Amino acid sequence: MVGDPKQLPQTVVVPNAEETLYNRSMYERLKDCGIQEIMLDIQYRMHPQINELISNMFYDGKLKTAKSVRERPNMFPKLRQRILFFDVKNFEEQDQKSFKNSK
């Protein structure tokens, strides 16, 4: 089984989720049963600067960028190398049991 327990937590809308333990992800349940997790520590998509930030924030600096990604030519050499964040909170809507961002 492959997945990343540090991305997109489960959405739980059951009122008594904590009492029934439905608020735990499958990965948390497996870990509680003694299943050892193995981290795949090389990523092949993100720009190295984005990966550095993500790696430090969520993976204790262990997520590395593949050599093939680090050696890609810079497609936008005149742009400054910055990372911007956009706060999109308060755009979430709930329709029955699912969530969506309207904007």
> What token pair was written down for 62?
């262990």
Q: Which residues contact 43 (CB under 8 A, 6 or more apart)?
A: 51, 63, 64, 65, 66, 69
Each of the 103 residues of the chain gets a pLDDT tens digit; together they read 777 878 777 777 778 888 888 888 888 888 899 998 889 999 999 888 889 999 999 999 999 999 999 999 877 777 666 777 777 776 666 666 666 666 5
Chain segment 17-41, per-residue pLDDT in tens:
888 888 888 888 888 999 988 899 9
Cα separation, 86 vs 16, whole angstroms: 33
Cα separation, 58 vs 86, whole angstroms: 18
Share of the chain above pLDDT 70, in %: 82
- pTM comes to 0.63
Domain ranges of the chain: 39-101
